[in-house]
Amino acid sequence: MKPEAQKYLFDIWRAVKLLTDFTAGKAFADYEHDAMLRSAVERQFEIIGEATAKLARQDEALAARIGEYRRIVAFRNILIHGYADVGDRLVWDVVETKLPALRRDVARLLTEAGIEPS
* Closest among 81, 90, 89, 94 to 50, alpha carbons compared: 81
d(CA 79, CA 68): 17
Q: Which residues contact 53 (CB under 8 A, 6 or more apart)?
A: 73, 76
Task: Give the model confidence (pLDDT) of 82-109 as tens digits.
Answer: 877 788 999 999 999 999 999 999 999 9
pLDDT at 52: 97
Res 118 pLDDT > 90: no
The model's pLDDT over 1-41, given as tens digits with 9 standing for 90+, comes to 888 999 999 999 999 999 999 999 999 999 999 999 999 99
If pLDDT is split at 50, 70 and 90, which confidence band does 117 have? confident
What pLDDT sits at residue 115? 84
Sequence ranges of the domains in the chain? 3-112
